[in-house]
């Protein structure tokens, strides 16, 4: 087992983008599968599934705020050493900030609850079905999803998950008060969460209990947490190949897909680009007619004007685009004698690719030196030229000539 663990604990960073040919999607969501708390179950099969679904999977990272900062989903399955207070704090903070946490644990005499306790739940280590059935290796425990919960995103897709299966239902939850007569009801009063109870003939710490909790899902801060009392949902290599395991995986696949979607930290929304600041420009600053001859291989000036709300000195000249061209040089000058210097830009007319013989307006865009977008426009008069005359001739109906 140690050898297997050693192999698994080497950093496995698999990065696959299933883009369908496009190279424009963002980075794959990153899942950290915790291996730093004595876990030695083989999750290689589940890792392969995740990679095929477009995840980047990282094993055996220390659970620090830095490691979790770009993590979309943290998976903790069957730890055998307890979480330290600083790790719990890091995970709690990560979830508060939008991260997803999925914890799966099976039965055990001493469940490790430092992490679940940070979210108000705990594993009891008890069993959710009869003790004898629990030891049947091919046992499959079907858990119905209560109809009231079937519209929850965990179950509503693709066509509704109405039940799922555990390997044998090896553990359960209880609220902070383990003596509660109705743990599920207690939890629902405490958290905005999904609670699913197991069958009524269930063990709770080796005593009969009614409706032991088998799933807890909750929204915590901006993130989501999910606690489940069975590890077989994320695969268990020694069991794969057994028909019961294959059956469980097939039945649970839609649920697992929903879980990944629901827990995944949302992509940060890019701040909307603010509308550009409208500025006044003056094409041919000392000429009111703004004439341009598209045959010309000369230069034309355009001024970005300063006024009481905008200082043209803030314009980054290299960012300027005017009618498709970039200025060849620029100079602060006061064009209109208002004691405010304007920015005069010089452009080569053949560069003004956006101008056509029909243009009546030309647009200038630029960024300020602190990155804000600005935009302005001025009228333009395209003077008759050979180029425009030729275009006009080509545009005429040549009807009769065709076919001669
Ligand atoms: Ca002008
Ligand atoms: Ca001025």
Q: Which ligand is nearest to the CA of 340?
A: 2
The percentage of the chain sitting over the pLDDT mark of 70, rounded to a whole number, equals: 73
Residue 144 alpha carbon to ligand 2 centre in Å: 75
- Say if residues 373 and 276 touch (Cβ distance below 8 Å): yes
Confidence of residue 236 (pLDDT cuts 50, 70, 90): low
State the virtual CA torsion across 77, 82, 86, 91 in degrees, nearest 10: 20
Residue 402 alpha carbon to ligand 2 centre in Å: 57
Residue 339 alpha carbon to ligand 2 centre in Å: 6
- The DSSP call for residue 232 is G
Residue 344 alpha carbon to ligand 2 centre in Å: 10
Encode 48-81: b = buried (16+ Cβ within 10 Å), e = exposed: ebbbeeebbbbbbbebeeebbeebbbbbbbbbee
Residue 275 alpha carbon to ligand 1 centre in Å: 25
What distance, in Å, lies between the first and last C-alpha atoms of the chain? Answer: 88
Q: Which residues contact 394 (CB under 8 A, 6 or more apart)?
A: none
> What is the model's pLDDT at position 22?
30
Residue 384 alpha carbon to ligand 1 centre in Å: 18
Q: What is the mean pLDDT of residues 24-49?
A: 84
Predicted confidence (pLDDT) at residue 84 exceeds the cutoff of 90: yes
Q: Which ligand is nearest to the CA of 311?
A: 2
Q: How far apart are CA 128 and CA 42, in angstroms?
A: 24
The percentage of the chain sitting over the pLDDT mark of 90, rounded to a whole number, equals: 44
Residue of higher predicted confidence among 336 and 268: 336
Q: Which ligand is nearest to the CA of 344?
A: 2
pTM greater than 0.75 (yes/no):
no
94: helix, strand or coil: helix
Protein residues placing their CB within 5 Å of the ion ligand 2: 334, 336, 338, 340, 342
Q: What is the mean pLDDT of residues 283-302?
A: 95
Residue 311 alpha carbon to ligand 2 centre in Å: 9
Predicted confidence (pLDDT) at residue 39 exceeds the cutoff of 60: yes
102: helix, strand or coil: strand
- Say if residues 358 and 395 touch (Cβ distance below 8 Å): no
Q: How far apart are CA 372 and CA 314, in angstroms?
A: 10
Residue 332 alpha carbon to ligand 2 centre in Å: 9
Confidence of residue 34 (pLDDT cuts 50, 70, 90): very high
> What is the model's pLDDT at position 15?
27
Question: In CATH terms, is domain 277-390 a member of 2.60.40?
Answer: yes
Residue 338 alpha carbon to ligand 2 centre in Å: 5
Confidence of residue 179 (pLDDT cuts 50, 70, 90): low
Domain boundaries, the chain: 2-263, 277-390
> What is the model's pLDDT at position 311?
97
Q: What is the mean pLDDT of residues 110-131?
A: 75
Mean pLDDT check: name the lowest of 123-127, 129-133, 161-165, 241-245: 129-133
Q: Which ligand is nearest to the CA of 381?
A: 1
Residue of higher predicted confidence among 250 and 172: 250
Q: What is the mean pLDDT of residues 132-144?
A: 60
Q: Which ligand is nearest to the CA of 306?
A: 2
Q: What is the mean pLDDT of residues 144-158?
A: 84
Residue 274 alpha carbon to ligand 1 centre in Å: 29
Predicted confidence (pLDDT) at residue 193 exceeds the cutoff of 90: no
Q: How far apart are CA 191 and CA 202, in angstroms?
A: 24
Q: Which ligand is nearest to the CA of 339?
A: 2
**Cis (ω within 30 of 0) for the bond into 105?**
no
Predicted confidence (pLDDT) at residue 195 exceeds the cutoff of 50: yes
Q: How far apart are CA 385 and CA 387, in angstroms?
A: 5
Q: How far apart are CA 165 and CA 121, in angstroms?
A: 22
> What is the model's pLDDT at position 275?
92
Q: Which ligand is nearest to the CA of 286?
A: 1
> What is the model's pLDDT at position 105?
85
> What is the model's pLDDT at position 388?
84
Pairing state between β 173-174 and 122-123: antiparallel
CATH of domain 2-263: 3.40.50
Residue 339 alpha carbon to ligand 1 centre in Å: 19
* pLDDT per residue as tens digits for the range 251-264: 888 999 999 999 99
Other CB atoms within 10 A of residue 242 CB: 13
Q: Which ligand is nearest to the CA of 285?
A: 1
Residue 305 alpha carbon to ligand 2 centre in Å: 6
Residue 367 alpha carbon to ligand 1 centre in Å: 22
């Amino acid at each position: 087992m140690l050898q297997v663990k050693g192999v698994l604990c080497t950093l496995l960073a698999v990065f696959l983008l299933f883009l369908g040919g496009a190279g424009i999607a963002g980075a794959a969501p990153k899942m950290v599968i915790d291996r730093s708390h004595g876990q030695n179950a083989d999750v290689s099969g589940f890792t392969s599934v995740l990679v095929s679904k477009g995840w980047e999977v990282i094993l055996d990272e220390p659970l620090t705020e830095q490691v979790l900062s770009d993590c979309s989903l943290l998976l903790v399955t069957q730890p055998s050493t307890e979480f330290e207070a600083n790790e719990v704090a890091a995970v709690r903070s990560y979830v508060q900030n939008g991260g997803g946490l999925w914890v799966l644990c099976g039965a055990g005499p001493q469940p490790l609850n430092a992490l679940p306790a940070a979210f108000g739940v705990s594993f009891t280590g008890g069993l959710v079905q009869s003790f004898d059935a629990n030891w049947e290796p091919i046992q499959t425990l079907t858990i119905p999803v209560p109809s009231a919960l079937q519209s929850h995103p965990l179950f509503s897709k693709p066509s509704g998950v109405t039940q799922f299966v555990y390997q044998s239902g090896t553990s359960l939850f209880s609220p902070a008060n383990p003596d509660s007569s109705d743990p599920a009801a207690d939890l629902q009063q405490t958290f905005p969460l999904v609670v699913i109870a197991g069958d009524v003939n269930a063990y709770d710490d080796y005593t009969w209990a009614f409706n032991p909790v088998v799933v807890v899902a909750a929204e915590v801060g901006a993130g989501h947490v999910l606690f489940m009392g069975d590890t077989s949902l994320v695969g268990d290599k020694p069991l794969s190949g057994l028909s019961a395991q294959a059956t469980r995986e097939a039945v649970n696949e839609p649920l697992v897909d929903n879980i990944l979607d629901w827990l995944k930290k949302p992509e940060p929304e890019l701040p909307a680009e603010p509308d550009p600041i409208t500025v006044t420009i003056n094409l041919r600053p000392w000429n009111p007619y703004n004439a341009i001859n598209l045959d010309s291989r000369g230069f034309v000036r355009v001024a970005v004007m300063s006024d009481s709300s905008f200082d043209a000195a803030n314009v980054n000249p290299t960012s300027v685009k005017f009618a498709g061209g970039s200025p060849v040089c620029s100079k602060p000058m006061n064009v209109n004698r208002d004691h405010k210097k304007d920015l005069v830009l010089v452009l080569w007319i053949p560069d003004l690719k956006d101008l056509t013989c029909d243009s009546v307006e030309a647009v200038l865009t630029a960024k300020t030196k602190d990155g804000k977008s600005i935009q302005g426009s001025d009228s333009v008069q395209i003077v008759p030229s050979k180029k425009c005359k030729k275009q006009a001739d080509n545009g005429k109906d040549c009807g009769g000539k065709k076919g001669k």
